Amino acid sequence: MQPNPLLKKLGFSDKDRVAIIHADDVGMCQASIQAFAELDAFGLVTCGAVMVPCPWFPKAAEYAREHPQTDLGLHVTLTSEWQCYRWGPVSTRDPRSGLLDAEGFFPRRSEEVQKQASPRSVQREIWAQLERARQFGIRLTHIDTHMGSVVHPRFLQAYVDLARKNHLPAMILRMDEPALLSMGLNPVTAKLGARLIQQLEASGFPMADAIFQMPLDQPENRLDIAKAAFAALKPGITHFVIHPAVDTPELRAITPDWRGRVADYLTFQREELRDYIRQIGVQVIGYRTIQALM
pLDDT of residue 16: 98
pLDDT of residue 191: 83
Q: In whole angstroms, what is the distance from residue 184 CA to residue 166 CA?
A: 31
pLDDT of residue 113: 97
Using CA atoms of 216, 217, 221, 226 in order, give the dihedral in degrees to the nearest 10.
-30
Cβ–Cβ < 8 Å for 206, 73? no
**Torsion-angle region of 283 (φ positive above 0: left; ψ -120 to 50: alpha; else: beta):** beta
Beta bridge partners of 211: 239
> Can you give the residue ranges of every domain in the chain?
5-173+208-291
Q: Residue 125: which H helix or E strand, with range?
A: helix 119-135
pLDDT of residue 181: 78
Helix (H, G, I), strand (E, B) or coil at 102: coil
The per-type count for the chain, helices as H runs and strands as E runs, is 13, 7
Q: Judge: domain 5-173+208-291, CATH 3.20.20.370.
A: yes
Closest by CA position to 77, among listed 67, 68, 66, 88: 88
Q: Which are the contacts of 122, defined by CB distance < 8 A and separation ≥ 6?
A: 78, 99, 113, 150, 154, 155, 158
Q: pLDDT tens-digit profile of 22-33?
A: 999 999 999 999
Q: What is the pTM of this model?
A: 0.95
Residue 84 CB coordination number (10 Å): 6
Closest by CA position to 162, among listed 129, 195, 118, 139: 129
pLDDT of residue 260: 98
Apex 14 CA angle, 146 and 3, nearest 5 = 60
Which segments in the chain show pLDDT lower than 50? none
Q: In whole angstroms, what is the distance from residue 35 CA to residue 40 CA?
A: 8
pLDDT of residue 100: 98
Q: Which are the contacts of 171, defined by CB distance < 8 A and separation ≥ 6?
A: 142, 143, 144, 145, 208, 211, 239
